Chain A
Amino acid sequence: MIRKSRVTLLLVLAAGWGTATAADLSLSVEIPQLPVAEYHRPYVAIWIEGADQNVAANLAVWYQMRGDHTKWLPDLRQWWRRGGRDLKVPVDGLTGATRPVGQHLLKFDAAQPPLAALKPGQYAVVVEAVREVGGREAVRIPFEWPIKAAKRASATGSKELGAVALSLNP
């Protein structure tokens, strides 16, 4: 069972990162398993930060969608401050339910929104997670836009986030 899921993951990775024809930005975000008595899935915001540190493009926002729990979105402090507070949620293709422990893959076509609007320059992918009765953590991976050559970069959170891997494919 474990082996099978690993194989599936590898296939997904291969499909996402290997055989793409159009330029894309792929991201793998790990929500770690935590040895805590009371566990709630984290709220997560993933965005592209411009040189001015503001949100250049929102990539994903995961929060408790059942009932009205948007009141906790400001706890994603960096995201909230840098542009989250300007956003009226839910947003199609952006907001979604919280995710379970594990690897989560996201892929964005460079020619499609929200990436199509990015001007050439220095950016960073930021992943921020905050957990009820838990902590908050943000992980940053800088990159240059547009994609000129294939690039892989990664960063690892220390508590609320696991490995975060960025793959840029021209």
Chain B
Amino acid sequence: MKTSLLIALSALLVPAVSEAARPWLLPSQTVLARSGGWVAVDAAMADDLFSVNQGAMPVDTLLVSGPDGQPVAPQNITKSRSRSTFDLELRQPGTYRIAVAEDAVTARWEEDGKPKRWRGTAAEMAAGIPANAANLTVEQTQRRVETFVSVGTPTEVKPSSGAGVELAPIQHPNDLYARETAKFRFLLDGKPAKDLDVEVIAGGTRYRDAPGAMTFKTDKNGEVAITWPAAGMYWLEASVQDEAATAPGVKNRRASYAGTFEVLTQ
């Protein structure tokens, strides 16, 4: 009884957008001519793919890296109620990685019989969590939300951080076509992520009765082979819960990856 009340109360304390909402970045286009151009990107957290009907995704930790690995400055960043948006001017040929990644610690405890929640970086833990917190549970969350855009010929996509779940694609994420099979490799902390659950859902969920999720499990090399049933925008999620937290004094870790991929017609 007390536990369920606690859960109900902590649900109320979470921000308007629940952590369960699907995070995604939606680029206006993924394939650009060699002359390059502008791409607009929406960042939202909404379960309906890709409808901006739930909440905006903060883009404070947005990092866009160009084909040469150098950062590209986003322009016209706007945070509105249901989405964040920004523009990218892409002039250099090759593949750009657009990523919002965060490595945070979430703590829950009780104070005077009331549930408390804190979220911040590992470095801020000491200041954010009271030393005598009762019934304290702490979890490290490593989240990476990505999409890719290519100008002219796509160039190699390399995993960048070595922390959490990352994509090390075998088939280029801007080279996906309907009815073809693409191999993706996932890494966990820089090593092939074996037995990782991967879910792929086509956009336009509002217009279907069935969610139509395709589920996969990575093999010993961290690989999955995905056959795209039709052209369109797809959302992919891979996540793991383990006890490999790297924040000091924290055991539990939740690492997740969410990517948006455009599949083109034959």
Contacts and interface: CB of A to CB of B under 8 A. Distances in A.
Contacts of B154: 85
B37 A85 contact: no
Output the residue of B34, B35, B153, B265 with the most chain A CB within 10 A. B34
B33 A74 contact: yes
Contact of B31 (A68, A70, A74): A74
Given A71-B33, A74-B32, A85 B177 contact: no
B153 A86 contact: yes
A73 B35 CA distance: 10
Nearest to B151: A85
B266 interface: yes
Contacts of B37: 71
A3 interface: no
Interface string A130-146: 00000010000000000
A80 B175 CA distance: 11
Given A81-B177, A85-B153, A86-B153, A70 B34 contact: yes
Contacts of A77: 264-266
A148 interface: no
Contacts of B31: 74, 80
A88 interface: yes
A85 B153 CA distance: 5
A26 interface: no
A44 B177 CA distance: 21
Interface residues of B, number: 14
Contacts of A89: 34
Output the residue of A71, A85, A88, A136 with the most chain B CB within 10 A. A85
Contacts of B153: 85-86
Nearest to A74: B31
Contacts of B115: none
A109 B177 CA distance: 35
Interface string A59-94: 000000000101111100110110001101100000
B152 interface: yes
Contacts of B266: 77-78
Contact of A73 (B33, B177, B264, B265): B33
A86 B34 CA distance: 9
A85 B152 contact: yes
Contacts of A81: 175, 177, 264
Interface in B16-38: 31-35, 37
Nearest to B38: A71
B264 A70 contact: no
16 contacts: A68-B35, A70-B34, A70-B35, A71-B33, A71-B35, A71-B37, A72-B33, A73-B33, A74-B33, A77-B264, A77-B265, A78-B266, A81-B175, A85-B153, A89-B34, A136-B265
